[in-house]
Amino acid sequence: MRHTVRRTLLVMMLGLSAGALPLTGLAEARPAAQATASVRIIDTAAVQAAIARGALLWDVRSAEDYRKGHIPGAVNIGDISRTLRREVDEDFIPLEQMARLLGSVGLDPAREIVIYGDKGSAVPYFGLYTIEYLNGRRASVYHGGIDDWKAAGLALSTQPPQPTPVNLNLSVNPQVAVSTDYVLAALKRPDVQIVDVRTLPEFKGEDVRALRGGHIPGALNIPYEQNWVDPDTPSKLTRRQVNSKDGMALKPAGKLRELYARLDPNKETIVYCQSGVRAAQTAGVLKELGFTNVKVYDGSWLAYGNTLDAPAENLSFFNVGAMQARMTALQRRLETLERALAEVQARAPAPSAAQP
């Protein structure tokens, strides 16, 4: 996965209370040279303005969720964290395949594109990262997504549009993403800072999702959920303590600047997670805050943790034996359930013959 860019989506919707940007106060806080920079993270009013301008709408949720209801006119190629990545290493599919897939629904990276999913989801930011990786400069993320659209009482559609397919000749922006070799070389550079947006257990090597656990030396751990007003919202939803995703809205700009106060906005900033999706959200937020040189580590910990000679802190290793034991136990339980089901079926009375 790769990342970096600019894009134009200036929204000045004076007098519309719903038009406030999710990152409140950002425009005032930017240096004068950056005050006219394109806006990457937008709200409902800005989405409506973009639609009126003829922007493309990209729904990056699963095909099933899309069919249940989407913003009218939005196109969909499924959950892009799956459809645009290889299963084996979670890296991008080949460029030619990506061109066919995006082109089939008319998604031209050169166009203005509004990307959305569920509120707070990192996947739309992965879509933004993808467009920037493909040299797009006019994409933005609707952070509130389908949830804010519905909350505003706006119409949904269950009918897919009929987009005009386009032939794409895609190229890659080398400034957007970095490789494992790049990260290893950057460890020796004082002008580079690294942000790990995974959970604390992942960072500490307690939750191992590669051959090794731990983190890149010197990385600062700020889980991407900390970008939200209430990072505990998903667990609260599970426990039915709240009934909406409002807590997954972005913090105001001032609070986000406090969150990232230990970082230098003028240094090169490398962001990583497990495979690049969560990192894409933090990368998008940092760019919106005015960080001048933000890159996503393409392979993230999945690649770094499997590079056995790469230095790591809080180093741990994947316990193959324990995993095998758990799999064996699960297999035995499955076999027990299958035998019990067979016994129940054997005892069931045979259906009576149909009377003539």
Q: Which residues are catalytic?
A: 273
Give me the phi and psi of 183, to 5 degrees please: -65, -45
Tell me how many helices (H) and strands (E) the chain has: 14, 11
Do 72 and 118 form a contact (C-beta atoms < 8 A)?
Answer: no
Number of C-beta neighbours around residue 299 at 10 A: 25
- Taking alpha carbons only, the member of 272, 340, 304, 284 closest to residue 1 is 272
If 0-12 CB within 10 Å is exposed, 13-18 middle and 19+ buried, where does residue 338 land? exposed
Q: Are strands 220-221 and 313-317 parallel, antiparallel or unpaired?
A: unpaired
- Taking alpha carbons only, the member of 346, 121, 351 closest to residue 233 is 121
Query: Which residue type is seen at 95?
Result: L
Number of C-beta neighbours around residue 251 at 10 A: 20
- Taking alpha carbons only, the member of 83, 90, 65 closest to residue 277 is 90
Give me the phi and psi of 305, to 5 degrees please: -65, -25
Gap between the Cα atoms of 221 and 196, Å rounded: 5
Residue 269: strand pairing partners: 193, 294
If 0-12 CB within 10 Å is exposed, 13-18 middle and 19+ buried, where does residue 198 land? buried
Could you list the beta-strand ranges (E) of 212-344.
Answer: 212-215, 220-221, 268-272, 294-297, 313-317
